[in-house]
Amino acid sequence: MALTTAMLSSVVLALFSLVAVGQAQLSTTFYRNSCPTALTIVRQQVDSILASNPNLAGGLQRLHFHDCFVRGCDASVLLFSNSSTNQEKDAQPNQNSLRGFQQIDQVKSALEAACPGVVSCADILAIVARDATVKAGGQTWPVLLGRRDGTVSLASEALAALPSPLLNLGQLIQNFAAVGLNASDMIVLSGAHTFGRARCGPVLNRLYNFNGVNGQTDPSMDSTLAANLKKQCPPNDVTTIITMDSSPNVFDRTYFKQVINREGLFTSDAALATDSRALALATRLAQPGSTFFANFAAAMVKMSRIQVLTGSQGEIRKKCSVKN
């Protein structure tokens, strides 16, 4: 049975006892006095954005994920590069991959019109990720607020920190552990692949060069899926966009059903079926009425607190793509 919002709030309160001083300054009511309409404005903007382009729900959630794994949840992923430094969005894992930058600017503009210089871009990413998930059919969660925006963004750090779709299970566990997330968090958050899109590039190794053998297809991939992917992704095609599961605009349990049926898209997806404990959890999460939605909500709350800037740290950007 899915947990209620009240029960999720209890989970959040329990987690508070474990957070550092900076994280403890986050609060669901942070903008109660300074911008009381902030959450309403963001929700209305997300509703409008997804009404025009429902394909963006997964992309909007993914921005928050890619932000938090590099320097923490500080909106550094939104900064545009200057002539001297490649920034996070220029890193190979983000190039031609992340979407929704213009839409985040749209949300920021609406907030600036109502409450100039108050709501951080880092908080916008956290709220938008929640609202996009809910709009796509997922469960809500209380968003902790009060983050401030970072002023440093480096492509090299993104390349080193972001989990690659080519990682095996052990590498995934290590990657998530580096930011304070455990193996269960990793498996649950992998469920974000239940909606959204990707490019052919990260799949080609499984289709045409498995284990470095030219022409070999990953034998662990369902043969029907492999045949369909080869039609969509011919050799050397790194740009064609493909869906991440069979219901790409809906946040549901389809991803885990596909994992246990050998239909995971990436190496990192298939990795969940290579360990009995990981596969057992994926199997439980795939079941109708499972706790996946509630588990995902709790994991997103946990992820959203990674190395946050609060108090006088960082800044509140006037425009999300540039430092003040």
* Residues annotated catalytic, as ranges: 66
194 is in an annotated binding site: yes
Residue the block writes with tokens 């609406």? 110
Cα dihedral value 137, 64, 17, 36, nearest 10:
-80
67 is in an annotated binding site: yes
72 is in an annotated binding site: yes
74 is in an annotated binding site: yes
DSSP secondary structure letter of residue 198 = E
Instruction: State the sign of the Cα–Cα–Cα–Cα dihedral 88, 107, 128, 29.
Output: positive
88 is in an annotated binding site: yes
275 is in an annotated binding site: no
How many other C-beta atoms are found inside a 10 Å radius of the C-beta of residue 224?
A: 10
> Which of 289, 293, 277, 122 shows the shortest CA–CA distance to 192?
293
70 is in an annotated binding site: yes
153 is in an annotated binding site: no
157 is in an annotated binding site: no
Using alpha carbons, list the distances in angstroms from residue 3 to 16, 242, 254, 292, 294.
19, 32, 20, 10, 6
Tokens of 183: 């193996």
**Strand 241-243 relative to strand 197-199: parallel, antiparallel, unpaired?**
antiparallel
Which residues contribute to the annotated binding site for substrate?
163
Give the annotated binding-site residues for heme b: 193
Binding-site residues for Ca(2+), in ranges, read 67, 70, 72, 74, 76, 88, 194, 245, 252
